[in-house]
Structure 1
Amino acid sequence: MGTARHPRPPELENASLEEIMDRFVARFGDRVPDWNAFSDAHIEGYHRAQHRFIGAGASGKHNDAGIVPAYNFTLSIMLVPPGQGNAPHTHEVEEVFFILQGRCTVFVEDEAGTRVSRELGPWEMISCPAGVIHGYQNDTDEPCYLQVVLGRGRPDVAGFADQSLFDRREAHLG
């Protein structure tokens, strides 16, 4: 027999192994693509679907059934159709874009609008530091799947660099 060297979280102290597996395993086939996860997702150029796995991610939607609870990070898979991406934004924590399938152009930019971009393919990634304006764009004619990880179990809603998008985000959550 082995010895657990670290304590379980209080809510799992008396959970059975079956209960843990039922709550902490998520399959892609059970995820429902959410095309309305983000306030900018209805704008041409920013259409994308989020497949939530762990936590709420940057959408701010924290109570979706079937989502694995987040403790210290969130994880989702984004489906980004050709010609689509997300609006330049920041977070209070780091955000990772890890390309699973297809190609995607990732970028960072400053407040003057200067942008530096890199095209990434499968098994390549960018880690965007907190407070750095960043995003991605699928400039190909094929869909792209990317894994998104945010460094907090309940991150704040994305801070869009564009003031009109920033103003719309609270209405989207309501």
Structure 2
Amino acid sequence: MNFNVTTPEAAQTLWVVADRIRLLGGIAGSSLELIEVEVPPGSGTPPHSHASPELFYVLEGTLTVRHFVAGGPPEMTVAGPGTSVRIGPRAPHNYSNDSGRPVRMLVLVEPSMIAFFRDIGTVEPQAQPDFARIGAAMQRHGIEALPVAA
């Protein structure tokens, strides 16, 4: 199809642990998919890496993004509205909402990440994440969890 419209009501919405992800669609003939992610205060991802590069664009709130560098402390970026953060393939990283307000961002990813989100996402928020199920899905999708520094 050469023309497609996805309204907020029509977008598939998934809950990935506490974050709400809306799948907005991709560009035909490319490997890019656009998602909207809402990150509540205190939520985020553990340190990890994956083959898919990502591009975050913060619309609302303040997101803390960490890039983990071998042998040193993580490089930390506090990204506010209008800030974009590019994460390369296999770059060790995580994000967190350390503020008291929700964060809303657009994220460009490859279809492999969409498949992962569909695998672990639920239609309702999760009171308690199933870490065993998430860990198994990470292995299936080539997402590596990184050790958390003490």
Superposition deviation, residue 157 in structure 1 = 4.1
- Answer yes or no: is 1:48 the counterpart of 2:19: yes
Find 2:13's aligned residue among 9, 29, 33.
Answer: 33
Count of residues in Structure 1 that have an aligned counterpart in Structure 2: 126
Bigger CA radius of gyration: 1
- Answer yes or no: is 1:90 the counterpart of 2:66: no
Give the distance between the partners of 2:47 and 2:133, measured in 1 at CA: 10
Superposition deviation, residue 54 in structure 1 = 1.6
Structure (1 or 2) with the greater strand fraction: 2
- Answer yes or no: is 1:108 the counterpart of 2:45: no
Match of 2:82 in 1: 123
**SS at the partner of 1:77?**
strand
Match of 2:136 in 1: 168
Q: How many percent identity over aligned positions?
A: 21
Superposition deviation, residue 86 in structure 1 = 1.4
Match of 1:161 in 2: none
Query: In 2 relative to 1, CA 170–107 (structure 1 residues): closer, same or farther, beyond 3 Å?
Result: closer
Q: Larger relative contact order (C-alpha < 8 A, sep ≥ 6)?
A: 2
Normalising by the residue count of structure 1, what TM-score does the alignment of the two structures yield? Answer: 0.60
- What amino acid does structure 2 have at the position aligned with 1:82? P
The 5 Å alignment of 1:61-80 reads 71-80=30-39
Paired residues of 1:108 and 1:132 also in contact (CA < 8 A):
yes
Match of 1:64 in 2: none
- What amino acid does structure 2 have at the position aligned with 1:48? D
**SS at the partner of 1:29?**
coil
- What amino acid does structure 1 have at the position aligned with 2:8? F
- What amino acid does structure 1 have at the position aligned with 2:107? V
Normalising by the residue count of structure 2, what TM-score does the alignment of the two structures yield? Answer: 0.69
